[in-house]
Structure 1
Amino acid sequence: MERLPTTPHDAVFRQMLMQKEVARDFLAIHLPEDFLAICDLDSLKLESGSFVEDNLRSRYSDILYSLHTQHGPGYVYALIEHQSKSDRLMAFRLMRYAIAAMQRHLDAGHDTLPLVVPILFYHGPESPWPYSLNWHNMFVKPDMAKALYSHEFALVDLTTMPDNQLLQHRRIAMLELLQKHIRQRDLSELLDPLSRF
C-alpha cells in the first residue's frame, strides 16, 4: 500500500507534479538541456515511486516519470525529489533512487540501462542549498571516487593469464590456478606446481 505524504507541503507537491501537464512544464523548464534535447515530452508517463526502500527516506514525496527518446528506442527517467530541509547525504540518496529506478527498468524486461535524471525540488530555510549534489564529493577522496566510479571496474580474468604468471602470485596462486582449471577433468598436471605451496 502506498504511503500518504507526511506534510501538507508533500501533499501539494505530489498532487501538482502527478498531473502530466504540470510535470511536462516543470521538465521543459528544469530538465538539463542535453537531456531535454533527446526527450519526447509527449511520451511522459508517471511511474510508481514505491521502489524506494522505506528506510531511505522519512516521507513519500518523490515523483518518477519515464520518457521515450526522440531518436529511437530508449528511455529517460526523471526523478523529482521534494525536500523542505537540507540533507548532507542527498546526493547519495538520489543516486540510490536512480539505481533503484534502473533496476526496476531491467526487471521489466529491458536489456539496457535507462538514463535517470535526478532533480531536487528544494524550498528549505537554508538558502542556497548548502551541500554538493555530486555524489563523488561525499567521499573522503572525491577525485579517486570519480575515477573509480567513472571508469571500468578492476577485472581479474584468469582465463587470459598464463599459469607461470599465476605461480608468481604468492599465497593466492593456488586458488587462482585451481579456479582457472576447475573445469578440467584431470587436475594432476597442477599437482607439481601446486606442491610448492
Structure 2
Amino acid sequence: MASQVHNRHDHSYKLMFSHKQMMQDLLTGFVKEAWVEQLDFDRMEQVSGSYITDELRDREDDMIWRIWWRDRWLYVYVLLEFQSRVDNFMAVRVMSYLGLLYQDLIRQEAFTPSGKLPPVLPIVLYNGEQRWQAAQNVADLVEPVPGGLEHYRPALSYLLLDEGAIVDSPGWSDEMRNIVAAIFRIEKHRDEKDVSDAIGHLAEWLSDTEQASLRRAIIIWFYRVFLPNRAPELEFPEVSDFTNLHEVHDMLAERIKKWPELWEERGRAEGRQEGRQEAEIRALESKRNAARKLIALTEMSDQLIAEIEELPVEEVEKLRAETQH
C-alpha cells in the first residue's frame, strides 16, 4: 500500500512538472543564481527521461528539460523523490544518473559549439517530514586518503530543494507569486487556511485557457494524493470539471471547516492508541517480573511458568538464561 501511495505521488508530481510554467517557476523562484536570469524560457523543451544501461535497467522517474542559455542548451535534471527517510547516498545516485544522461548526449552528439558536453543542473526535490541531512556532494561520501589519492576522489554536487526547510525559512513569503511555492505551501501547510489560500491563488494565477492542462494536473494531485493523505476520514465530492480550480476552492471553503475537528479526534484516537500500547507494555513487564520470581524461588518448569503467566515458553527460557548469568 505504501508503495502505491508513493507511486501515485511520484506520478502526480511528474504530471505537474511536465508543464513549462512549473519548471520556469521552480528555477526562477528557487535557484538564486545569476545564470537563471539569462535563460530563454521560450526556447524550453522536455527531453526523454528514460535511459537504458548496458544491464538493461530503466530509469524513467525523472524530469529532464533543456533550456536555451546564451548560445547553447543547458539541461535541468529533476529527481522527484517521495520518501519518508533521507537517502544518505543520494549524491551517488545523482552521479550515476548524470552519467547515463551524458552517455545519451554523447550518442546524440549533443555537444556545445565548442565541442564539449552541455552543462547540467541536477535538482533533488524532497518533500519528506524529516529535514534533509545527507551529503550534497559525492566527495563527502568518499574517505579521503592523503598522499595523492585524494586527487582522484569524485566531486559532484546537486541542488537540494527541501520543501519543509524552504517553507520554514525566515525569508519564505506566503504571498510569493509562484506556482511551485503554492504547491509547497499546500504540502507543508500550518493550518487549513494555508491550503484554501494557496488554492485560491492558483485559481487566480492559472485562469487562462492555455493553462487548462496544468490546472488539471494540480487538481488530480490535490484529489488523488494530498486529500487522501491529509484528511482520509473526510469525504470530498469530485469536482465536475477537473480544470476548474475555482470549484475546488469553493468546495474547500465549506469542507475545510471540519478539518480542525478531524485533527482533534485523530489526536484523541492516537492518544488512546498510545495509552493502550503503554498499558500493554506495563502488563507484559509485570508478567515478566512475576516469571523471574518463579524462576528464582521455585523449581517449576519453563512450560508451567509460561502457562501461569501467559507468556510464550521461549520468553520464559530467555528470562531463565538472563537470571543465570
Q: What range is the shorter-chain TM-score in?
A: 0.5 to 0.7
TM-score normalised by the chain length of structure 1? 0.62
Secondary structure at 2:9 match in 1: helix
TM-score normalised by the chain length of structure 2? 0.39
Are the structure 2 counterparts of residues 147 and 31 from structure 1 closer, same or farther at C-alpha, using a change threshold of 3 Å?
farther
Structure 1 partner of 2:126: 122
- Verify the 8 A CA contact 1:13 1:61 in the aligned structure 2: no
Structure 1 partner of 2:311: none
Q: Percent identity?
A: 22
Is 1:49 aligned to 2:49, yes or no? yes
Q: Distance in 2 between matches of 1:56 and 1:137?
A: 27
| 1:75 partner amino acid | W
* Structure with greater strand share of residues: 1
Q: Which has the higher contact order (CA 8 A, sep 6+)?
A: 1
Q: Distance in 2 between matches of 1:90 and 1:25?
A: 24
What is the Cα deviation at residue 41 of structure 1?
A: 2.2
Q: Distance in 2 between matches of 1:56 and 1:145?
A: 33
Match of 1:132 among 131, 135, 141: 135
Secondary structure at 1:25 match in 2: helix
Q: Distance in 2 between matches of 1:33 and 1:52?
A: 32
Q: How does 1:137-176 map to 2 (within 5 A)?
A: 137-141=140-144, 147-148=151-152, 149=154
Match of 2:78 among 44, 69, 80: 80
- Verify the 8 A CA contact 2:49 2:64 in the aligned structure 1: yes
Is 1:12 aligned to 2:12, yes or no? yes
| 1:82 partner amino acid | L
What is the Cα deviation at residue 30 of structure 1?
A: 2.6
The structure with the largest alpha-carbon Rg is: 2
Residues 9-37 of structure 1: per-residue CA shift (max 9 Å, x gap): 10111000001121111122233514414
- Equivalenced residue count is 141
- Verify the 8 A CA contact 2:65 2:75 in the aligned structure 1: yes
Question: Pairwise CA RMSD of aligned residues?
Answer: 2.7
Q: Distance in 1 between matches of 2:33 and 2:95?
A: 20
What is the Cα deviation at residue 145 of structure 1?
A: 7.6
Structure 2 partner of 1:63: 63
Secondary structure at 2:51 match in 1: coil
Are the structure 2 counterparts of residues 133 and 52 from structure 1 closer, same or farther at C-alpha, using a change threshold of 3 Å?
farther
Unaligned regions of 5+ residues in structure 1, if any? 151-197
* Structure with greater helix share of residues: 2
| 2:141 partner amino acid | M
